[in-house]
Each structure stands twice: as structure tokens, then as C-alpha cells.
Chains A and B, each alone.
Chain A
Amino acid sequence: MQPETLAWIILALPLLSAVGITLFTRRSAGLSAAVSVTAVAAAFVASVVLVLSYRGLHIPSGECLITAVNWLNVGGLSVELGLRLDPLSNVMLLAVTGVGLMIHIYSCGYMAGDPSYARFFASLSLFMFSMLGIVLSSNFVMMFVFWELVGVSSYLLIGFWFERPAAADAAKKAFLTNRVGDFGFLLGIIAVWASLGTVDFLDLQRTLAGDPQALGDFASLAGVLVFMGAMGKSAQFPLHVWLPDAMEGPTPVSALIHAATMVAAGVFMLARSFFLFELAPAWPEPLGFLSGISALDVIAWTGGITALLAALMAIQQSDIKRILAYSTLSQLGYMVMAVGCAKPEAGMYHLVTHAFFKALLFLGAGSVIHALHHEQDIWRMGGLRSRLPVTYWTFVVGTLALCGVPPLSGFYSKDGILAAAESRPILFGLAVVVAALTTFYMFRLIFVALRGEPRAEAVTHAHESPSVMLWPLRLLAVASVFAGFWGIDAALRSGLGMGGDVAHGDHGSFLAGVFEPFGHAPLAAFLGLFATGIGFAVAWTLYGSHPARDPLPERLGAPARWMRDKFYFDELYSGLIRWTHDAMAGVVDWVDRWIVAGLLVRGLAGTTDVVGRALRLVLTGNLQTYAFLAAAGLVVALWIVVL
């Protein structure tokens, strides 16, 4: 079968599943799960077939397959519903459907017994449809449509247990923060379309390759505005506030949406539209003071700051899911930083490996939470190594991958990012520090939550999760370990049109491939390992002895409190919003009180009243006055007529 047809099938399957479940199988939990899992499994198989047949076509690097349906033709805007297939989208397809399949299977066990089981799978299928839409989009407008759809799915899934006020609020917060980013995104799309007349990625890339000055003054501004979309979706500073709150959703949702795929959509979009960001800096007149800064600078620094900020916040959290959420934020910062350092393939590589091990970590956390009957505080866990062996070991594997321990996949992707950052020394130092912090807080988590002695009653009754939840953990662990050797980075390099380095991907021998980073970028590799070692050592010192309480607040004092309180960003934003709201309400109130009610309504009434009172004076009641006035009027009239 042609790859194009397969692409349409892959996109349609989850949509049919979502619609089918919503319309037909709401009553039956088992059937809904079966429909949803089958759809994703079929999509995964189809993706594999698609990638293999694409490979068979030997399409040169820099080109792609597009299949399109004409959709919108209004004014100067022509948008088609197009699916674009190239190595970049192929890699994402496999990652999204593969991890999605694991999570769907896991959810059958985790969500068992939930009264809205069917709705969960319908929402998951809707999400898969939207995410695949983003991956396969061939133009900005279509991507924006699916972008919003993904946001809606996220809203539905975060607020899945909507009777809980915290969950409902978190869902609203996520959607609204996303909207702020999307506003910038839309402005960027409009700027690009207004200058270049098209929104199709391939056309834009070719136009800009031929004429880099085509965007004129708007080059950097358009880039920054489009980046705002990624800021919202991938939770970069300062729009990062929604991701930790999104942990109110069920754990499989956190794994799928807020670790592996949706938040990665921002990075994917940056890679897809990278040609937009590598233009030389050019700002319009009023923003002339920004003249030296390019869009890539903004992206790199935003990513770096996010990575550092999130890592700092993570080291003092005590909710297992929040630690992982901040870890995700930090890793997303890494990916965005890599794009900003002009190496989108490094960011995408980390995205894929991160999808594997972060999903693994979240699912493992879900397994722990499930076993302890929805306990999420790490200071009430402990001693789970012997009671939940599979969960424990897969969690450790995931942690090692996240910390970048060779030869696990995380090492290679993190090394790629550190190597990319070498061009910007300050960010490089920052990245190394974040690597140390990452190891620190992850091993803090392991020592406190998984090792040592039980800290609470519930732990002693804990037993391992059912098989349907354990197999995804095992499979994702395998992926986390071996993904470094599957040639993902070579595929990404060819997909991003930087295929010149193909020789780089041809390893003479397997062993040469394992040690390749040490030869290619030794500083990054060694410093990265060093940072990992330091982080582990500090974590061992502080938490290895299984303290009953967190020793860090005493050692650090006030900074520890700032980290635990997330540096007060939420309070700042809510204060800002309240202040703006009050100011606007005050202005509108003044206008309503003084201008509408005062001037227009009472003014009109008052004027009528005054004039009436004046005219009243004519009615004296005196007959002779009336006679006199009549005669006088007559004289005047005669005067006018005769003279």
C-alpha cells in the first residue's frame, strides 16, 4: 500500500475510535477500551509499514511526500488539508503511536473500576487523532487547527475527574495559558502569510531558501511570535505554570500528554518550522533596540532558563508526580535550548528518547500510586523495592536513562544537546548544572520513595500491579535502554535536511557507535558524566541514609522554601491578573456611572426638566396676559407678512 494512503488511515483510525466510543459504546467499559486500544495498535502497525515502505522509496534528504486535499480558498489564502511524510514525521509517528499504545494498554489496568472508563478512552482517542494531525500537517493553518484540538483534548483529560475542583481549575489554567501562547502563534502565522503569501511548510522553506530577505523587517519578530506557540504548548518560561497543575489528571494522561507527546508538539513544531528561525536578525523600527538578537537567541535562552528554573523547583517537591512534572519541564527546556543552538535534530532526538523514559517514569509512578491507593506524597512511601520489584527496576532504568548514564538512550540524546550548547558557553555551563540537578532530584526520589523502610502503614499492604500495567513498563524500559542504537538520530538528521553528515551516522562497528560521543564532542560527554556523578553523590549523602524528613530545608533555609513554593510565579500571575481585572473594571465602572448613567440618562432627563420649568412660566393663568400675548403675536405676524 502506498505510504500516502497509510497516512490517511493512520490519521482516521483514532478519530473513528473516538467517535465510535462516544456514539455507540459508552455503556460498555470493556468494549470502549477494546476499540481504543485496537485503533492505536492498528495505527502503530500502519506506522511501521509506512516507515518501511517510505524507506523503500529512497527519497533524497530535504524532500518529502505530500498528499493533500484542497480545503480552503478564501481571498489570498489557500489552505489544503495535507499530510506530509518525511523522516521527521516518520520518527514522530512511530514514537507517538508506540508510546500511545503502551499507555493505552496500561490504562486498561490503571483506570479499571472508574465509572467514566469509556469517556476516558474516547478522550484518549481524540487526543491521539489531534496529535497525529500535528505530526502529519503540511502547513501552518492545519497544524494550528490540530494544535487547538490537542489543547481541547488536554483540557478534557486533565479535568477528567471534574468533580474535583482542583482538577477543573487545573484544566482551565492549562487551556488559558495555552491560549496566550497560541495568540502569539497565530500572529506569527499571519505575519508569515502576509509577507510570503503561503502557509505551506515546503513552499515557505523553498521561498526563504531562495530569498532569505523575503520577510524583511519581520524576520525575527515572526520567528519569536511563532515560538510563543511552542512556549505555551511546551510550557516554557514564563508560560510554564500550567504543567505542574496538570498532574491533577490521571497518571496515564500525565504520561501520554504531559511527558511524551503533547508538550513535545511544541518542540516538533520548532523543528518543522526551523527554516523560519535561522534567518538573520531583523526587527521593525519600534523594536530597533533588539537589533543584535536573533529569534534563535530568544529560543535558546528561554529554553535554558526554563531548564534551570524547573530543575531548582524540582529538588524540593514532595509529590511524586510533581517531581516528574518539573523534570519534564526541565527536559523540555533542554530540547528548546538545543533548537535555539541551531541543532533541532538534537532537540528532536532528546524528545524521542525522553518520550520513552519519561512515559516509563510516569507509568511507574502510577503503578506506585495505584499500589498505595492513591498516595502521592513521597514522604509517605519507602520500602517499595521488595514489594513492587518490576516497578522498582523499571523505574531505576528510566531514571538512569534520564540522568544520561551510558549506554542508555538518554546519554546519547543529552550528549547531543550538550554538544549543541557548546557554541554558547553560559548556556553550556547552565546545561551542565541542570544535568547535575536532574540526577540529584531523581535519586532523591528513588532513595526516599522507593528504597529504605516503609514510612506509612499503606506501604506494608502494597503489592505489585497487574500484568496489563507491568508489560508496558517492561517494553518502555527496553526502549529506554536500546533507543540509542536504533539510528533515530541519523533519521532525524536526514529529515531535517542536514543530511550532509551521513558519514557521521555510519558506525564502523557497534562498539564504535557506543563510544561515539566521546570522540565526537569529548568536553560535553565528560562534563555530562561528571555532573551526573556529582548529582548522585550529593543525593546519596543527603538521602542515602533514609532520613525521616527532608534535610535540605535546614541546610538551605529560605531558598529551599522558594523552590518548594515554585518561586511564587503562580502568585505573581494571579496578582497580575487580579490587578488588571480590577483596573479595567474600575475604568468601565467610571464610564458606566458618569458617562452613560450620568451624562446621557440623567443629563437628558434633567435638560428636559429645566426647559419644561422655564416654559411653564408662560402659563400665568391670567386672562389679560394671554390676550396681550395674542395681540402681540398678531402684530409680529403682520409685520413680517406686510413688511
Chain B
Amino acid sequence: MKVGLEHYLLISAGLFSLGLLGVILRRNLLVMYMGLELMLNAANLALVAFSRYNKNLDGQLMVFFIITVAAAEVSVGLALIVALYRRRQSAHVEDLTSLKF
């Protein structure tokens, strides 16, 4: 079968959903974070697919930015998680309810 744009987009959507489910359903902070990364990469995939399909390099340019930002975000986020772990001695998200009323 001919592989068209829609296949790529479908995969991208599927990856995004899986990432979202990971964020919502998993209880370990690090695994939640991995889901977050998965969502970002799903977006990347979609952008590259569009770029290839439109015969335009704009999408790939955006991917560069996204990768950079994701990397920076990961370093900051992991630093926060480590600091939180040292404070609370737990990486379990259900223990983090200080903002509850």
C-alpha cells in the first residue's frame, strides 16, 4: 500500500495519546515525565511529516526548536524532581498534594 500523510499523522496521534495516558495514569514522576517527552516527540513527528508532504523545510525548522526546548525543559524538570525527592523522599505523585484546599 501507498504510505501517505495520513499514516504518519495517525502514528503521531497515537503516540500523543499514549504519552497523555502515561501522564494521567502513571504514578511515578519519572514515568510521567517520559510520557511528557513522548508527547513532544509525537508533535515532532507530525511536523516532519507535514514538512515532507508540503515540500517545505519550515516544519523541520520548528522541529529543531522543539528538540532544543525539550532538552532544556528536561534538565530543569529532572533537577526539580530530584530536589522534590530529596525533600519528600517519594517520587509518588499521589503524595504531592500540598496544593489541595
Contacts and interface: CB of A to CB of B under 8 A. Distances in A.
B96 interface: yes
A628 B94 contact: no
Interface in B49-83: none
A620 B97 contact: yes
Interface in A453-469: none
B interface, size bucket: 10 to 19
A624 interface: yes
Contacts of A622: 93-94, 96-97, 100
A622 B25 CA distance: 12
Contact of A623 (B20, B93, B101): B93
Nearest to A617: B101
B97 A624 contact: no
B25 A624 contact: yes
Interface in B17-38: 20, 23-25, 27, 32
A631 interface: yes
A451 B98 CA distance: 105
Nearest to B39: A631
Given A628-B24, A631-B20, A631-B24, A620 B96 contact: no
Interface string A611-643: 000001101111110011001000000000000
A638 to B, nearest CB: 12
A617 B101 CA distance: 8
Interface of A, secondary structure class, is helix
Contacts of A620: 97, 100
Contacts of A616: 101
Contacts of B94: 622
A621 B24 contact: no
A624 B24 contact: yes
A628 B101 CA distance: 19
Interface centre among A622, A623, A631 (most CB of B within 10 A): A623
A636 to B, nearest CB: 15
B101 A627 contact: no
Nearest to B99: A621
Q: Which of B24, B94, B99 has the most CB of A within 10 A?
A: B24
Contacts of B20: 631
Nearest to B97: A621
B24 A619 contact: no
A624 B26 CA distance: 9
Nearest to A624: B24
Contacts of A628: 24
Contacts of B24: 624, 627-628, 631
B100 A621 contact: yes
Contact of A627 (B23, B27, B100): B23
A631 B23 CA distance: 10
B18 to A, nearest CB: 13
Contact of A624 (B23, B98, B100): B23
A151 B90 CA distance: 92
A628 B24 CA distance: 6
Contacts of B100: 619-622
Contacts of B98: 621
A403 to B, nearest CB: 95
Contacts of B97: 620-622
A619 B99 contact: yes
A616 B101 CA distance: 7
A616 B97 CA distance: 14
Interface in A586-632: 616-617, 619-624, 627-628, 631
A232 to B, nearest CB: 69
A631 B98 CA distance: 22
A622 to B, nearest CB: 6
Nearest to B36: A627
B17 to A, nearest CB: 10
Contact of A621 (B25, B27, B96): B96
A297 to B, nearest CB: 80
Nearest to A616: B101
Nearest to A632: B24
Contacts of A621: 96-101
A260 to B, nearest CB: 85
Nearest to A629: B24
Contacts of A624: 23-25, 27, 32, 93
A632 to B, nearest CB: 10
B81 to A, nearest CB: 12
Nearest to A618: B101
A514 to B, nearest CB: 108
A557 to B, nearest CB: 83
A620 B99 CA distance: 7
Nearest to A613: B101
A621 B101 CA distance: 7
A617 to B, nearest CB: 8
Interface string A83-115: 000000000000000000000000000000000
A202 to B, nearest CB: 85
Contacts of B27: 624
Nearest to A621: B100
Contacts of B93: 622-624
Contacts of B23: 624, 627
Nearest to B29: A623
Contacts of A617: 101
Nearest to A625: B24
Nearest to A619: B101
A624 B29 CA distance: 10
Given A622-B100, A624-B24, 4 more contacts: A621-B100, A623-B32, A623-B93, A624-B32
22 contacts: A616-B101, A617-B101, A619-B99, A619-B101, A621-B96, A621-B97, A621-B98, A621-B99, A621-B100, A622-B93, A622-B94, A622-B100, A623-B32, A623-B93, A623-B96, A624-B24, A624-B25, A624-B32, A627-B23, A627-B24, A628-B24, A631-B24
Interface of A: 616-617, 619-624, 627-628, 631
Q: Sort A-B residue pairs by CB-CB distance and give the 3 closest, nearest first.
A: A621-B100, A621-B97, A621-B99
